[in-house]
Structure 1
Amino acid sequence: MRILVVEDEQKTANYLSKGLGESGYSVEVARDGLDAQHLINEDEFDLVVLDVMLPGLDGWQLLQLIRRRSQVPVLFLTARDAVEDRVKGLELGADDYLVKPFSFIEFLARVRTLLRRSPPREREHFRVADMEMDVLRRRVTRQGERIALTNKEFALLELFLDREGEVLSRTYIASRIWKMNFDSDTNVVEVAVRRLRAKVDDPFTHKLIHTERGMGYVLEDRT
């Protein structure tokens, strides 16, 4: 889990970085709002710990910029203890608000709670054998050759890659890709897998999508 701490007071920043690091988290520290904005635009974090009074951009402005981009959990950690400040922070989109001075044990408990609530970040890139998928660019290649897929084919392949090595039942595939309850008289899954194989497996010697009779399908490198 990666945490961005935005704190201009060096002693507090070092204390948080050390404590979170010892608790098993990867920590990045920004000393002002502009540095934090750059890091948020360039990287992905699982949680942002944010002071209000910052040079460059203050915490209120930075939170608004964050919320235009993502729903990453934000915990305000600030000396601003007025009720109206708490209300403002939560109304702008913060997930929690903790006032300084604070107990590190309470702070860590709130961090863990927010991280449990946040959905896992989706993977942006997959590679199995000579196949690569760039999720953000919607690009799939094998042996460096671009493969054109429909939206459903792309979603199906992404599911296989995300669950590499796991046998996925037809019922599970139907529920994930078509959001439907599986009807044994419907061959939509078989047809979709056949069409996907025709593009990503048939033109190549090394096959990646395999049928497990009576169970479903699995994508794995069996070399």
Structure 2
Amino acid sequence: MKLDYLVIGRVMKCSLDNSVPFLTVYPRQAHQTKGQIRALRLSGRIPCVLYGEGPSENVSVCAKDIASELEKPGIFSRVFQVQDHGKVLISSIQFCSVKDRPVHVDLRRLSKNQKIKLLVRIAFLHQDKSVGIKRGGALNVVHHHLEILAPADHIPEVIEVDISNLDIGQTIHLESIALPKDVQVLHVEKDEAIASIVPPSSGDKLDVQEHSDSQSTSV
């Protein structure tokens, strides 16, 4: 069953955080020996390369800052403000294969007229209030992320989908998601399913009474 956007209400939105976090970078030598890089890491810094418009620069960041950002979802779609360099994205992080901690970071400069291709996480909100899940159904996620093309100054950090009114047999399609202006989803058709509520397995009991109550409630 295709989700009726008008009946369900304001189900989907994209989160655009106007408060851009600040990331401090420190200059470092262009050509460092393995010993110098090791000493840098022991001092609590991570070597970085800042690239994009203009020449690439060798810098470093505080390991604690990166560790803190890694605790939050969506680090690769989060825009940071860097002193003297404007806005940047963390484009990649290399980890130590033994201790599983960051050992190198790539930072990508952003310019106003630039369009960026990146993956953005989808967050399915209010699962504890979902009509279908309360009746014993399960959330079936088809896409956990969407690859988008977005202006550098208008990148959504996360796409939020409210499934509180989603019932068993209903499906959220891409065309139901209200994307920010000039943001384009790549490689996914408009009528493609993003997620749905599937019936309970044969061993689980469907809550018929709760379903009856939910049907009698106007939205």
Structure number with the higher helix fraction is 1
Q: Compute the TM-score of the two structures, normalised by the length of structure 1.
A: 0.32
Q: Compute the TM-score of the two structures, normalised by the length of structure 2.
A: 0.33
Q: Could you say which structure has the greater relative contact order, defined with CA pairs below 8 angstroms and 6 or more residues apart?
A: 2
| Greater C-alpha radius of gyration | 1
Structure number with the higher strand fraction is 2
